[in-house]
Amino acid sequence: MITIKSFLMASAVTAFAGAAFAQDLAPLNSDTEADRMDWSQLTEQFGEMPAPAEGTQVGGVSKTLTNEYWRSLGQGYQNLAEANGVGFAYQAAPSEGDQLGQLSIAENMILQGYKGLLVSPQTDNNLQPAVETAQAQGIVVVNVNDAVIPSATHYVGNVQRDNGVRVAQWFIDNAPEGGKVAVIEGQPGVFAAGQRTDGFTTTITEAEGFEVVASVPANWSRETAYDAASTILQQHPDLIGFYANNDGMALGVVEAVKSANLQDQVSVFGTDGISDAYASIRAGDLTGTVDSFPVLTGEVAMEVVLRLIGGQELPRVVATPQALITADNVEEYSVEETDALREMLLAE
């Protein structure tokens, strides 16, 4: 039986070995990697996507399907796979904390003859053993939001730090007198959680009058976020705002704010842009979210893996879009068709 301790030890070993396997690439920081391009430039720089060979199969390994974000990402994968006659299977662990379960799914997919894998690891290292095996067998692997495998040769996703920066800037612009704010973090050991938190904290503390009085992990859990926010509000009844690393946690924070009858005082922001967040913004509960357009991101990631399978040499990072959504622009960004969304984003 594999124990958590032995799993973590194995992950640490493979993390060390990974850089050597991945052509001596430096450990990836997807936010700052110089070898990058914007999603909108793929066709302009590399031409039309090569037609996939008949029978091409691609697998997707997600964090969990209990979170709408990951279901939407999978829908994006499926959209482009169907449009190009590519077989596609999408699997995920039962929860965002089941690292061993997700690793087992990835290892099983390697045995099933896929030409490419799109992987969204639960932590920066938990899928690295499977990724090393896949790469050794010539399977194209693309790391897609939001944890970052250090030895990943290709990554698709948005600039994670910028999520937090955008929210911090909203507070700076809309609360000129400053005030106390708090962060509800995601899962420790996940690149995106660290970057989102740092982007928010660094930006807002550099502005005059703001103080981050708490920064607490809630492991992507709405219930844990509710409990953490309730405690923070008890300790700091003069708090003016929360930034949560994802929308599920932000909606838990909204419930805590309502329970404390502080809706008129406390602004709450999330990250991801799920439909429940949009609905909450329309209802006047959630102040905002940073939408990273998961369906579009999934389509871009599938395009990237198919281009790589077709022999194209792409930059290490393909950056996807994001936008701060509030009551001021929620209807503008409520675009269900990705073709229309693409046109809108390209026109900005």
Decide if pLDDT at 9 tops 90. no
Q: Alpha-carbon distance 215 to 103, whole Å? A: 29
Domain end, chosen from 239, 259, 291, is at: 291
CATH number, domain of 282, equals 3.40.50.2300
Give CA–CA dist 299/303, Å, rounded: 6
pLDDT higher than 60, residue 242: yes
Q: What is the mean pLDDT of the chain?
A: 93
Asked whether the predicted pLDDT for residue 329 surpasses 50, the reply is yes
140 and 183, same structural domain?
A: no
Q: Which amino acid is residue 148, in one-letter code?
A: V
327 part of a folded domain: no
Is 333 domain-assigned? no
Q: Give yes or no for a contact between 276 and 251, defined as CB atoms under 8 angstroms apart.
A: yes
> What is the average pLDDT across 192-214?
98
**If you search the block for the tokens 């990250």, which residue do you land on?**
271
Per the structure, the complete domain to which residue 75 belongs is given by 33-156+295-315
CA 346 to chain centre: 21
Q: Tell me: do 138 and 255 sit in the same domain.
A: no
260 and 244 in one domain?
yes
Q: Would you list the DSSP string of 73-95?
A: HHHHHHHHHHHTT-EEEEEEESS
Same domain, 89 and 141: yes
Average pLDDT over residues 199-205: 98
**Structure confidence at residue 23 (pLDDT):** 52
- 187 and 72 co-located in one domain: no
pLDDT one-digit tens code per residue, 20-72? 444 578 999 999 999 999 999 999 999 999 999 999 999 999 999 999 999 99
Q: Please indicate, yes or no, whether residues 148 and 257 belong to a single structural domain of this protein.
A: no
Handedness of CA 152, 157, 160, 162 (dihedral sign): positive
Instruction: Examine the pLDDT at 13 and tell me if it is beyond 90.
Output: no
148 & 166 share domain: no
What is the distance between the alpha carbons of residues 297 and 8, in angstroms, rounded to a whole number?
A: 30
* CA–CA distances in Å: residue 74 to residues 48, 67, 127, 211: 23, 11, 18, 38
Spatial neighbors of 55 by CB under 8 A, at least 6 apart, are 87
My answer on whether 143 and 175 are in the same domain is no
- Look at residue 323 and tell me if it is in a domain: no
Which stretches of 56-136 are assigned E, i.e. beta strand? 57-64, 87-93, 116-119
Q: How far apart are CA 42 and CA 77, in angstroms?
A: 17
Q: Which of 9-13, 55-59, 84-88, 264-268 has the lowest mean pLDDT?
A: 9-13
Residue 84 scores a pLDDT above 50: yes
Structural domain total, the chain: 2
What is the distance of C-alpha 214 from the center of its chain? Answer: 23
137 and 43 within one domain: yes
Does the N-terminal peptide bond of residue 173 adopt cis geometry, omega within 30 degrees of 0?
no
Statement to judge: residues 286 and 169 lie in one domain: yes
Reported as a single tens digit per residue, the pLDDT across 247-295 is 999 999 999 999 999 999 999 999 999 999 999 999 999 999 999 999 9
pLDDT value, residue 189: 86
Give the per-residue pLDDT at 21.
43
Average pLDDT over residues 239-247: 98
Domain contains 17 = no
